[in-house]
Structure 1
Amino acid sequence: MVLQPRNKRLVLTLLLILLLLACLLSLALGPVSIAPADTLRALFWRLGASAVPADQQLIVEQIRLPRLLMGAVAGATLALTGAAMQGLFRNPLADPGLIGISSGAALGAAAVIVLGSVLAGSLVAGWQPYLTVLGAFAGGAACTALVYRLGQSMQGTSVASMLLAGIAITAISGALVGLLSYLADDSMLRTLTFWNMGSLAGADYARVGLLALCCAPVWWRLPRLAPALNALLLGESEARHLGVEVERVKRELVLLTALGVGACVAACGLIGFVGLVVPHLVRLLLGPDHRWLLPASMLLGAALLLLSDVVARLLLAPAELPLGIITALLGAPFFLSLLMRVRRQGAF
């Protein structure tokens, strides 16, 4: 049921409260649990709060706070770009991975992990984490550019052609990742496997800053395209009659999605289903109006990823599950229920 306009601000407020609660849990819970009051004191001690034990201060400031910031930025960006892609394709089952960004990023990272070690050996050993991030970003950008090029036609950019090209590029990238995995030794294979499952364990302030720098244009520009996305829901011809520059908007949506998702995959590895599930959950409450859908998706996406990370830390503590496993376990059943619902409505 879609809420009335006067209640939509209330939903945004509740989502903000949920995000703040998720932030507190992310800082407090883990293999070493810290009381909420001590967590807040460790976080705000520079503002005059009483001191906490040094080990708790270190855990909160140097380990969990960067992890929290990375999870919030990545979750908000993945959900925001997912909502934008669903608006572009006019399909609630759409996902940023449809245009090959995630698979291209995985291929770029795999190439650095396997080929970099084989060709350069010890020369890249100390730089491999940074080169992996760079390779993932370059791979995602290259695949997006190729998909966009293949989607060009005499009439402009064809969404259907982009979708088919994205499926083909995803299949090719998956095959190449499989080949690299076959060629990898045990150490490379372990690194590649855990990177492909996604994690926030490698978060630090430098990586968070780089991720935020890449995602800032996405956060700034995509919400401003909400009126154009609303018009595209009526169809491309109708959007043109309403004065929307359809080709420019489609180009912006694809490039911004490539930037946001490529940066998130480069920083955190592959984390699935956030861009699919979150926008649809928000749409059930607020309806298809992107002026509300986009900011609400950002809030819920950040909260969902942080809560999933808490579960990943606690489920097998002191060991840690890859974050992508948790989001898949949560998202896949929802995706199947959504698919069955759409099928019952006769969309397929």
Structure 2
Amino acid sequence: MTLRPAPLLALLLGLGVAGVVAGVLFGSTGWSDLGDDTMSVILWEIRLPRSLGAWCAGALLGLAGALSQGLFRNPLADPYLLGSAAGAELAVALTLAFTGASAAHASLLAEIGLTGLAFAGTLAGVGLTLLLARGAEQTLRLLLAGVVVGVVLNALTHLVSLWTPDILRAMQAFMLGNTGMLGWNSVAVMAATGLVAGAIGWLGSPALDALTLGEATATSLGIRLPLARLLLILAFAMATGAAVAQTGIIAFVGLAAPHLVRTLCPMLHGWLILLSAAAGGALLLAADVLARALIRPQELPVGLVTALLGGAYLTLLMHRRGVLRK
């Protein structure tokens, strides 16, 4: 089935609206009674910002996934490719270990916030990758540097966890993804970051289109590849950092959303970036509602749900294309 970009965008946004309504009305205890005063507070002050925040986080990851796949010309590239997730994990682990050392340090966490430090860790991981790769000139060098930085930072995170095992439970919640703490401030931060990152990505979409023809052709068309790569890396690092800082590590949304959009509607990167964001928002919001429903009154980590659904989708995609039959 092939759709045109505009109707597909309308469909994805409609699914997002339906997901927000379902997220507001449906909680871990089932469907809610709108006439109850206490329940009204829960709906508008807890569930509505959580649902909008889940959509924003998914949109950021879908946007980042489209940018990274276009930038590296690799359909398996995801937003965590350049050490962003590893940097966020290490920052969270160090913060939890540091603030747990004494009560005096707890004020630091209260002032800066765990989300701010996770965002800083994401940017630091990407910055280390760029430093190791000596800039953004060589795609292969960037990919290898991202792998090295990710492995080293993950090893340091495990080392910190071994030294301070009390942080393991909090780290597990961060690494499996969690939308339960999202509020109106989270929605505002992610929406603002998404607008900035989306604008940079849209302005850089002609460079991504040119890159599909090869680096030599893109250069001959007047594209300044090092500058374009640097700006696009900044855009998807900002988007990834904002999502990870607010919700933790959520798997497969940034990888699956661009795949789904390209399957339904082949297009240039200007539309792909916008549609991948809408698809990512709808996917994460659906996973969040499902995470509340499966084992209620308890909730599954939303990252676990997205990993299972994303893995099933990519396996089906590989089977349809005959990869698993060869």
Normalising by the residue count of structure 2, what TM-score does the alignment of the two structures yield?
0.92
Equivalent position SS for 2:30 = coil
Structure 1 residue 158: Cα displacement = 0.7
- CA distance in structure 2 between the aligned counterparts of 1:82 and 1:262, rounded to whole angstroms: 13
- In 2, the alpha carbon distance for the partners of 1:84 and 1:238 equals 19
| 2:103 aligned partner, one-letter code | S
Residue in structure 1 matched with residue 163 of structure 2 by the alignment: 183
Q: Report the alpha carbon displacement of residue 247 of structure 1 after superposing the two structures with TM.
A: 1.4
Quick one: which of 150, 154, 173 aligns to 2:132? 150
Which of the numbers 9, 12, 20 marks the counterpart of 2:17? 20
Query: What residue is the counterpart of 2:224 in the other structure?
Result: 245
| Residue identity in the other structure for 1:143 | G
Q: Assess, with a 3 A threshold, how the Cα gap between structure 1 residues 69 and 229 changes in structure 2: closer, same or farther.
A: same
The separation in 1 between residues aligned to 2:63 and 2:226, in whole angstroms, is 20
Question: Deviations for 1:274-327, whole angstroms, at most 9, x for unmatched residues?
Answer: 110010110111114112211111111111111100111111111111111011
**Are residues 2 and 34 of structure 1, via their aligned partners in 2, closer, same or farther at CA, if it must alter by over 3 Å?**
closer
Whole-angstrom distance in 2 between the partners of 1:207 and 1:344: 40
What do the CA deviations read for 1:214-248 (whole angstroms, capped 9, x no partner)? 33311222122222211111111111222222111
Contact 1:111/1:135 (8 A) holds in 2:
no
Q: Which residue of 2 aligns with 1:61?
A: 44
Matched, 1:194 2:173: yes
Change over 3 Å in CA distance of 1:315–1:127 after alignment to 2: farther
Say which of 316, 322, 344 aligns to 2:295: 316
Aligned to 1:122: 103
Which amino acid is the alignment partner of residue 144 of structure 1?
V
Matches of 2:107 and 2:22 in 1, distance apart?
33
Q: Deviations for 1:27-60, whole angstroms, at most 9, x for unmatched residues?
A: 111124346xx66xxxxxxxxxxxx321221111
Stretches of structure 1 lacking an aligned partner (at least 5 in a row): 40-51
Preserved contact between residue 30 and residue 293 of structure 2 (Cα < 8 Å): no
Q: Please tell me the residue identity of whatever aligns with 1:140.
A: T
Separation (CA, whole Å) in 1 of partners of 2:144 and 2:188: 35
* Aligned partner of 2:245 among 258, 266, 287: 266
| Stretches (4+) displaced over 6 A | 340-343
Matched position secondary structure for 2:28: coil
Is 1:109 the counterpart of 2:112? The answer is no
Q: Secondary structure of 2:295's match?
A: coil
Cα displacement string for residues 79-102 of structure 1 (whole angstroms, at most 9, x for unaligned residues): 011001100111111111111111
The equivalent position to 1:222 in structure 2, one of 186, 189, 201, is: 201
Q: Is the CA contact (8 Å cut-off) linking 1:79 and 1:278 kept in structure 2? A: yes
Indicate the residue corresponding to 1:11 in structure 2: 8
**Aligned-partner Cα distance in 1 for 2:12–2:75:** 21
Q: CA deviation at 1:166?
A: 0.6
The whole-number CA distance in structure 1 between the counterparts of 2:306 and 2:184 is 24
Mapped to 2, the partners of 1:19 and 1:34 lie a distance apart of: 19
Matched residue of 1:99: which SS? Answer: coil
Is the Cα–Cα contact under 8 Å of residues 200 and 232 in structure 2 kept in the other structure?
Answer: no
Summarize deviations over 1:154-205 as a string: whole Å, max 9, x none: xx6111111011111111111111112212244x221111111111111122
| Cα distance between partner residues in 2 of 1:197 and 1:159 | 30
Asked if 1 retains the 8 angstrom alpha-carbon contact of 2:99 and 2:108, the reply is no
CA contact 2:173–2:301 (8 Å) conserved in 1: yes
Aligned residue pair count: 324
Tell me, yes or no, if the aligned pair for 1:151 and 1:159 is still in contact at 8 Å.
no
Identical columns (%): 37
Which residue identity is paired with 1:177?
A: T
Q: 3-state SS of the aligned residue for 1:98? A: coil
Corresponding letter in the other structure for 1:309: D
Partners of 1:86 and 1:311 in 2: how far apart?
A: 28
Amino acid at match of 1:71: A
1:341 CA displacement: 7.0
Deviates more, 1:221-230 or 1:90-99: 221-230
- Contact 1:112–1:131 (8 Å) recurs in 2: no
Q: Which residue of 2 aligns with 1:167?
A: 147
Does the 8 Å CA contact 2:257/2:280 hold for their aligned counterparts? yes
